[in-house]
Each structure stands twice: as C-alpha cells, then as structure tokens.
Structure 1
Amino acid sequence: MPDTLKTEDEQKKDALISVLLEHGVFKSENHQLYELTLNELEDVCRHYLQTD
C-alpha cells in the first residue's frame, strides 16, 4: 500500500477535526486538535455536540 494513503484512523481524525472546526472548536485544553489522539478527539467531539 502506498505511503500516501491515509489510514482509517487518520481519516476518522480528519473527519472529527472538521466537525469540531465547524462548531468553532480550535483547541482543547491548550492542545491543537491535530495533536490529539483519535480517542481524545472523540471525547472532545462528544462533549461539544452534547452541549449544542
């Protein structure tokens, strides 16, 4: 498989980051979204989507 293809986890992270950016979330606890793990992004996403 070519190195240029993204893994499934990377694609999920990109999708979650897009959702958070659409909701005006750019950071989480002094970390940029791209620095977070998939599990952390899912937690942040759950938190912000529940409070909308």
Structure 2
Amino acid sequence: MSDSLTKSYEKKKDDLIGKLLDRGIFKTNDHQLYELSLSELEHTYKKLSQAN
C-alpha cells in the first residue's frame, strides 16, 4: 500500500476504535480492538449502531 493509503487506513481504524471505546466496547469475540481489521471494526460498529 502507498503511504497515504496506509495512513488513511490507520486513521479510519483509530477513529472507529475511539468510537467503540466511547461506547464502552473494549473487546469483541475475545480480541482487543487493535487486533481487528478495518472491516471487522466497521462491522462491529454498524452492528452496535443498529442495536441502538
């Protein structure tokens, strides 16, 4: 990946992790949030948003 794509990917991951942490989510399926891929984080956030 190019440097700007890597930065964009990491920023999106960081933003989603922050949003999940704000909602009190620290782990999902016995994995720490930082271990998850961007798509797994997006899925977790979307599922949480739909539940509320």
Give me the TM-score of the superposition, normalised by structure 1.
Answer: 0.85
* Divergent runs of 4+, >4 A: none
CA distance in 2, matches of 1:26, 1:33: 6
Aligned position for 1:13: 13
Structure 1 unmatched runs, 5+: none
Number of aligned pairs? 48
Which of the two has greater helix per residue? 2
Give me the TM-score of the superposition, normalised by structure 2.
Answer: 0.85
User: What amino acid sits opposite 1:38 in the alignment?
Assistant: L
Q: Percent identity, aligned pairs only?
A: 48
Q: CA RMSD in A?
A: 1.4
Q: CA deviation at 1:49?
A: 1.1
